[in-house]
Structure 1
Amino acid sequence: MPFDLTVLTPHLDTLLAGALLTAEVCALGIVGAFTLATALGLLAVGRGWAGRLARLYVDVFRNVPFVVQVFFLFYGLPEVGVYIDAFWTGVLALGLVGGAYGSDVVRSGILAIEPGVVEAAKVSGLSRLAIIRRVVLPIALRTAIRPLGSVFVNLVLSSSILSMITLDEVTGTARGVASETYRPFEVYAFLLAAYAGLTYAVSLGIDALHRRLNRHMAENGAAPGATHGVMGRTA
């Protein structure tokens, strides 16, 4: 049977709607993952109870299969009176697991900052919060942003699991079209292209952010070093 993409024409609106829904859930999940990863990374470098809780959270979410986390949120929580629809379950699940994986990247970026940078900020009279916001995070993210991009790309790929909780994202939509048209080759070729496009868009965004952070750091004359243990003195 010859390859013929025209068989998808009657279903193109459905497939594009699924791709758009995947893009939406992934975009919101990535925002949540980035926010959570930053917070957990900052907490995890500390030695107190907050740091221990942050590291425990990371250990738990990194050692439980993503599909189990999704099923727990969608099918388990209603048993205790918590109901979340499929879309927001997907956003929450991606944000929670992405935050766990991303926190180690942020933490590594923080630990790589030269101690003298933080000491100089203290001497200048900046408050603890100002040091974190204006010194630590900008420098740490310059180091961490590319590895974080890999985490976010993996979130896009993991989003295919969300079709298992009735979310009409692109994988679930493609599966339905394939069963209706009996043309799985063309349908899944579209699916391959859709995920390639989504992950490429994430990569482009990370590259743009990396250039912006590098330009900002160059203008301020700061650069991350390789000495560990910075936040141990500031936590």
Structure 2
Amino acid sequence: MSFDLTVLTPHLEPLLAGALLTAEVCALGIAGAFGLATVLGLATAGRGWAQRLAWLYVDVFRNVPFVVQVFFLYYGLPEIGVYIDAFWTGVLALSLVGGAYGGDVVRSGILAIDPGVVEAARVGGLPRLDIIRRIVLPIALRAAIRPLGSVFVNLVLSSSILSMITLDEVTGTARGVAAETYRPFEVYAFLLVAYAVLTYAVSLGIAALHRHLNRHMVASPGVAGSEVAGKGA
């Protein structure tokens, strides 16, 4: 059988619509995961009951298969009267699991900060929230943003599972087109390209954000951690 992409022409509209839907659910899921990862990173790097609860959350969501989490949200919650449509189930599921993995990355960035920088800010009289907002998070995110990019790329790849809850994203649409046309090679070649484009877009976004966060950094091997932190303040 010859390779013929023209067989996809009548189906390009639903395939592109599926790709757009995947991009939408992933963009919202990544945004939610980033916010949740920031909160969890701060909590797990701290002490007390907030730290214990955050670690419990991280352990649960990192040790349960993503497909089980999706099924629980979509099929399980209605049993207790909580109904969420497929699109927002996808957004919520990606946000929850991405936050769990991303929280550990943010925590690592926070723990890498020179303690003297934070102590100097406290001695200088900065309120706790200002220390977090103006010193801790900017410095931590500089170190964490590239590893977070890997988490976000994995979220895009994991989104293919959402076709199992009737969401017409690109994988589910491609499966239907393949069954209709009996041309799985061409259809799944399109799917390969679609996910490559989506993940590459995420990587480009992360690279741009990394450059933005580090725009005031001096690229010198002799720069000390305290000097870097001082610029972040």
TM superposition score normalised by structure 1: 0.93
Give 4+ residue runs of structure 1 displaced > 4 Å after superposition. Answer: none
1:123 deviates by 2.2
Aligned partner of residue 46 in structure 1, secondary structure: coil
1:45 deviates by 1.1
- 1:2 maps onto 2:5 in alignment: no
- What residue ranges of structure 2 are gaps of 5+ in the alignment? 219-225
Aligned residues: 224
Residue of structure 2 in register with 1:192 after alignment: 192
1:122 deviates by 1.4
- Looking at structure 2, the residues matched to 222 and 175 of structure 1 have their Cα atoms a distance apart, in angstroms, of 54
- Looking at structure 1, the residues matched to 104 and 139 of structure 2 have their Cα atoms a distance apart, in angstroms, of 16
1:222 deviates by 4.4
Going from structure 1 to structure 2, the CA distance change for 1:79 and 1:135 (only over 3 Å counts) comes to same
CA contact under 8 A between 1:139 and 1:217: conserved in structure 2? no
Map 1:152-231 to 2 at 5 A.
152-218=152-218, 222-223=227-228
1:34 deviates by 0.2
Map 1:68-217 to 2 at 5 A.
68-217=68-217
Going from structure 1 to structure 2, the CA distance change for 1:38 and 1:133 (only over 3 Å counts) comes to same
- Looking at structure 1, the residues matched to 44 and 76 of structure 2 have their Cα atoms a distance apart, in angstroms, of 29
- Looking at structure 1, the residues matched to 85 and 13 of structure 2 have their Cα atoms a distance apart, in angstroms, of 23
Deviation string for 1:169-219 (max 9, x for gaps)? 00000000000001000000000000000000000000000000111455x
Deviation string for 1:61-95 (max 9, x for gaps)? 00000000000000000000000000000000000
Map 1:55-66 to 2 at 5 A.
55-66=55-66
Amino acid at match of 2:61: F
What RMSD over aligned residues (CA atoms) do the two structures have, in Å? Answer: 1.5
CA contact under 8 A between 1:145 and 1:210: conserved in structure 2? yes
TM superposition score normalised by structure 2: 0.94
- What residue ranges of structure 1 are gaps of 5+ in the alignment? 225-235
Map 1:42-61 to 2 at 5 A.
42-61=42-61
Q: Percent identity?
A: 86
